[in-house]
Structure 1
Amino acid sequence: MCGSSTPPAAPESIPPTAGSRPSRAGSPATTPSKSTFPDHTDQSPGHPRGKEARTSTFAVLAHYRVQPGRGDEVAAALRPHIVATRAEPGCVGFTVNRSADDPDVFVLYEQYHDSNAFQAHVDSRHYQDYVARRVRPLLADRQVSFYTTVEP
């Protein structure tokens, strides 16, 4: 588990350099607006924990294919980013996986309390420093998908 239960306030939308939907070679990745992200609270008055009970988390799955031979540089840039992200109040979990078969392939699995917590993550200084400025220039391909967890 990461952080506390109260997510930070977030700006209105994810900037163009933030997480993106799958992109095709030669075309820029697109980013959904904040309104695309679902609300993860149960608003029904009969819910046992009340109006603000959390029913799922906001999950992000990012696939990175790094430029050939640059995987070690990406791994080095992601290590301090992992520590900083896990300390965010809205972070539920943040795992970086590196392919056992191809050292230039990474899969990031991220969970946040809600889309506002994800937005705060994207706007954070460490995201801009490590991901936007150091990791992205080394990527050959990047695909990002957004999910909600399925709860019993």
Structure 2
Amino acid sequence: MAHVIIATWVAKAEEAEYVAHTLTRIAPEIRAEPKTLEFQAQRRTDDPLTFVLYERYPDPSGYADHASTQLFKDVVIADLIPRLAQREVQTFTSFAD
């Protein structure tokens, strides 16, 4: 069983390209974190302001570790979130791995 985070972000219209570029830039670093099993960033094809982030960790401590990184604090919290018009984060437990 894994701990899964699915975040849906809607960027402000003038910030969408910046958000896309920054997610592309930081994805390899997030994937390299010790407890990150998977990190994917998607952009909705019929609404380019909408992004879906899929993150999978072995347990809740993996996400807690990710959220405590300097990258998360400096880039996600301080830089990207202010560029969003809307943000929803959902937590799941996988059961059919």
TM bucket, shorter chain: over 0.9
* 2:85 aligned counterpart, secondary structure: strand
Matches within 5 A, 1:99-114: 99-114=44-59
Higher relative contact order (CA closer than 8 Å, sequence separation 6+): 2
Identical aligned residues as a percent: 30
* 2:82 aligned with 1:137: yes
Gaps of 5+ in 2: none
Name the Cα RMSD after superposition.
1.1
| Residue 87 (structure 1) aligned to one of 17, 29, 32 | 32
Matches within 5 A, 1:112-127: 112-127=57-72
| Residue 43 (structure 2) aligned to one of 77, 98, 106 | 98
The CA deviation string for residues 83-139 of structure 1, in whole angstroms up to 9 with x for no partner, is 111001101100000011111100001000111111000000111122111110100
More strand per residue: 1 or 2?
2
Whole-angstrom CA distance in 1 between matches of 2:35 and 2:54: 15
Q: TM-score, normalised by structure 2?
A: 0.94
* 2:53 aligned counterpart, secondary structure: strand
More helix per residue: 1 or 2?
2
Code of the aligned partner of 1:128: K
Q: Give the number of aligned pairs.
A: 97
Larger radius of gyration: 1
Which runs of at least 4 in structure 1 moved beyond 3 Å after TM superposition? Answer: none
1:69 Cα deviation from its structure 2 partner = 3.0
Q: TM-score, normalised by structure 1?
A: 0.61
Matches within 5 A, 1:21-36: none
